[in-house]
Amino acid sequence: MLYLIRVFIATLWVVFSCLIGILVGLIRPFNPRNTKISASLIGWGRHLLGIEIELRNKEILDPNRPCVFISNHQDNLDIFPGGFTLPEKTVTIGKKSIIFIPFFGQFFWLSGNILIDRKNKKKAFEAMDVAANAIKEKKISVWIMPEGTRSRGRGLLPFKKGPFITAIKAQVPIVPIAISTYTSNLKIGKWKAGKILIQVLPPISTIGLTPTDANAIKDQAYELMKKTIFELDSEIASNLKKSI
């Protein structure tokens, strides 16, 4: 019963947060500062679900340093740790079909986030060029989930090259953000649903690199995030054992 009540209330909260985002977007459409407003509201929704979030190395999330943030993509609940963590002046990249999701899609579009057609590789790569140009011209950051799809408990999936080519073309660092595997740890039906650990990792420089180096830094980022996620999951498992 608690699970159903929480999911219902949290859904209403997300809709409310998106409506605020739509109103702000209508006042100042496509402004990259819009996303943070609703993202923070959505992130607060973690309290409604009984989720505790701990963010480590927050100081690396410097809104005045344009970069490409990358994070692991687990489930629909990503909007809560993602909203909690999203820095100022940051937009995200999502599938073009997102725009058809009631409330969220319209907020996403009006906030200046970048929509890509993953079914059309040419258009997807063109969107990455748009992102690189936006980073350079508007001095903003872009948040991308390089797995391209939700892992749903399957562990960290292989990365796509797009985010890394974007960072290289913009000549900005890649900042990996590792989020613990909450799909197997959270119990929304309990009063204290559990904890999510988020660790911001040191920036990976792209200065002087070319698109031919994308595979190398992709593999570097992948191994670093995989190792960090394993460590975060081990810490959570150890703390759960101690609490029993």
Q: What is the pLDDT of residues 158-194, one digit of tens each?
A: 999 989 999 999 999 999 999 999 988 899 989 999 9
Helices (H), the chain: 2-27, 34-44, 79-85, 104-110, 121-138, 162-170, 214-243
Q: Which pTM was predicted?
A: 0.92
Query: In this predicted structure, what is the pLDDT of residue 95?
Result: 81
Domain boundaries, the chain: 2-243
At residue 39's C-alpha, the angle toward residues 38 and 45, to 5°, is 95
Average pLDDT over residues 32-41: 92
Average pLDDT over residues 103-108: 91
The number of residues in the chain equals: 244
What superfamily would CATH give domain 2-243? Glycerol-3-phosphate (1)-acyltransferase (3.40.1130.10)
At residue 119's C-alpha, the angle toward residues 94 and 221, to 5°, is 55
pLDDT digits (tens, 9 = 90+) for 43-54: 999 999 999 999
CA–centroid distance for 121 within its chain: 22
Measured distance CA(208)–CA(240) in Å, rounded: 45
Answer whether residue 3 shows pLDDT above 80: yes
pLDDT digits (tens, 9 = 90+) for 27-36: 999 998 899 9
Mean pLDDT computed over every residue of the chain: 90
CB-count exposure of residue 1 (10 Å: 0-12, 13-18, 19+): exposed
123 or 16: which carries more pLDDT confidence? 16
Answer whether residue 65 shows pLDDT above 70: yes
Query: In this predicted structure, what is the pLDDT of residue 124?
Result: 67
Query: In this predicted structure, what is the pLDDT of residue 68?
Result: 96
Measured distance CA(129)–CA(123) in Å, rounded: 10
